[in-house]
């Protein structure tokens, strides 16, 4: 059986989400849940703008040291359009790597976008993949559009 062609990825834009202090919400033997407030940030690339303060990332630290993330926030383009973002993902070490989240080699997300802006409807009609990285005070996500 032949191997099917893989979809292609096209870089579209980068989100830099500035974050505040982590707030512990829950902990049991399987996981710890924290809320990471999103306090602002920037959008650059095919879209430019800023992240609206007030969103958050509900981050679960699992017993094996990996993380599940679920972020919800809004950004506003430079021309005033608002875009709602729901971004879920996985953050983990590769192989037998060790170290803090900023050194984890696997941080991929699946963002979805909603907007009423006519010129941005392409955001609501495609699938996207985010390649993310963490640093003190911010998470950066490069957004790629998935094409057949």
Q: Tell me the three-class secondary structure of the chain, residue by residue.
A: CCCCCCCEEEEEEEEEEEECCCEEEEECCCEEEEEEEEEEEEEEECCCEEEEEEEEEEEEEECCCCEEEEEEEEEEECCCCEEEEEEEEEEECCCCCCCCHHHCCEEEEEEEEECCCHHHHHHHCCEEEEEEEEECCEEEEEEEEEEC
Dihedral (C-alpha) 117, 119, 125, 130: value to the nearest 10 degrees?
Answer: -90
Q: What's the predicted TM-score (pTM) here? A: 0.92
What would the pLDDT profile of 107-146 be if each residue is shown by its tens digit?
A: 999 999 999 999 999 999 999 999 999 999 999 999 999 9
Give the residue extent of every domain in the chain.
8-147
d(CA 24, CA 34): 4
Residue 101: pLDDT over 70: no
Q: What is the CATH number of domain 8-147?
A: 2.40.160.20
Query: How would residue 103 be classed by pLDDT, with cut points 50, 70 and 90?
Result: confident
Residue with tokens 């919400």: 25
Please report the pLDDT score of residue 65 as a whole number.
84
Residue with tokens 């976008």: 113
What would the pLDDT profile of 21-72 be if each residue is shown by its tens digit?
A: 999 999 999 999 999 999 999 999 999 999 999 999 999 999 888 899 999 9
Residue 93: pLDDT over 80: no
């Amino acid at each position: 059986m032949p191997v099917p062609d893989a979809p292609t990825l096209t870089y579209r834009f980068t989100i830099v989400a500035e974050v505040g202090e982590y707030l512990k919400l829950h902990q049991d033997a399987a996981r710890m849940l924290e809320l990471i407030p999103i306090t602002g940030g920037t959008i650059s690339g095919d879209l430019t703008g800023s992240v609206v303060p007030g969103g958050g990332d509900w981050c679960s630290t699992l017993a094996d040291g990996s993380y599940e993330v679920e972020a919800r926030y809004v950004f506003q383009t430079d021309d005033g359009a608002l875009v709602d973002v729901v971004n879920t993902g996985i953050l983990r070490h590769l192989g037998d790597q060790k170290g803090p989240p900023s050194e984890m080699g696997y941080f991929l997300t699946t963002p979805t976008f909603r907007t009423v802006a006519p010129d941005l409807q392409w955001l609501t009609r495609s699938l996207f993949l985010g390649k993310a990285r963490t640093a003190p005070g911010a998470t950066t996500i490069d957004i790629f559009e998935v094409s057949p």
